[in-house]
Amino acid sequence: MSVTLVKERYSSKVGEVVLGATPEQGGTRTATVTVGGDSALPFLHFEGQMPNRPVIAMEVTDVVPAWNEMITKQIGDVINDPAAWAKKCVDEFGADLIYLKFDGADPEGENRSPEDCARIVKEVLAAVGVPIIVEGCDDSAKNNEVITAIAEAAAGENLLIGIAEQDNYKSIAAAAMVHKHTLIARSPLDINICKQLNILINEMGLPLNKIIIDPTVAGLGFGIEYVYSIMERARLGALANDKMLSMPIICTVGYEANRCKEAYASEEEFPGWGGLEDRGVLWEAVTASGVLQVGASILVMRNPTAVRLVQKNIADLMSK
């Protein structure tokens, strides 16, 4: 008996976004990274094309982070030097991108100046050839100053900068337009706000192929099911030709997974949970694999061992 495989046919596809700029394009990157372009749901190669594999950005901070020892011991002494840390992420851990987070710019912390932040970005750009993602601090007013200064200092590099949110997007969107960068648009797990923010940014004049969606994610066991449903609606919207939901998706997997107590709580405190080293790795890796299945194009990760597992997972899923 023969079996006929039923295939979905979609009217559109996810938009493609290029990150980074080579010397010929006005930047200094050794290569660019293209994300998006899917014409079917993730990894259903029999239904459509998936021309660009999902990529991994490894997180680097401008100040030594308060991450658990299972991660920091793998990074080593370079954790004190963002440029050296970024280089290790690329050369040893195989990162496709660097996600540089300026926690030190927060007025409640080191209150690092915008000029100092711009200097660090230029040092990281000099240390690695991959495209760079830059996020400021969690203080919105200071973040506007920091990202504006960075965008100007790295004009032409086509950084992916952020974070643009519904109540705070105009300054960062303007910096992206003026200095030729791409923008992260973050929404709080709300498909309507996600779409509306993209409309507002696009109405300012930033093209849709210069926007990456951050829908806000959650770690394994802490709301990832709801995240999945929001991301799925966005992907189905893109495939149904909703241009304001057609952008590739970035997910801050490392941050969210390592907020979960299962990723850092000691074996002494919870003896039934198993060894912390394996548990911490798997909590981040499984969180990443979950969002991959629903359309994440860029995974922001922390744990190098988890990165290796997810790199293999991506290679397996991309094999037709």
Q: Are 16 and 52 in contact (CB under 8 A)?
A: yes
Kindly state the DSSP code that residue 186 receives in the 8-state scheme. Answer: E
pLDDT score of 46: 92
pLDDT score of 320: 72
Question: What does the block give as tokens for 76?
Answer: 């080593």
Give CA–CA dist 301/58, Å, rounded.
Answer: 5
Residue 314 φ then ψ, to 5°: -65, -45
pLDDT score of 165: 96
Residue numbers in the chain where pLDDT is lower than 70: none
Question: What does the block give as tokens for 119?
Answer: 């200097």
pLDDT score of 204: 97
Q: Are 57 and 51 in contact (CB under 8 A)?
A: no
Q: Give the range of the structural domain holding residue 42, as residue numbers without chain letter.
A: 20-318
Biggest alpha carbon distance in the chain?
A: 71
| CATH number of the domain to which 45 belongs | 3.20.20.20
In a domain, 283, yes or no: yes
In a domain, 13, yes or no: no
Give CA–CA dist 256/233, Å, rounded.
Answer: 21
Instruction: For residue 87, give the H/E element and its range.
Output: helix 82-91
Question: What does the block give as tokens for 191?
Answer: 């498909």
pLDDT score of 2: 75
In a domain, 12, yes or no: no
pLDDT score of 167: 93
pLDDT score of 4: 81
In a domain, 4, yes or no: no
| Number of structural domains in the chain | 1
pLDDT score of 5: 79
Q: How far is CA 214 from the centre of its chain?
A: 8
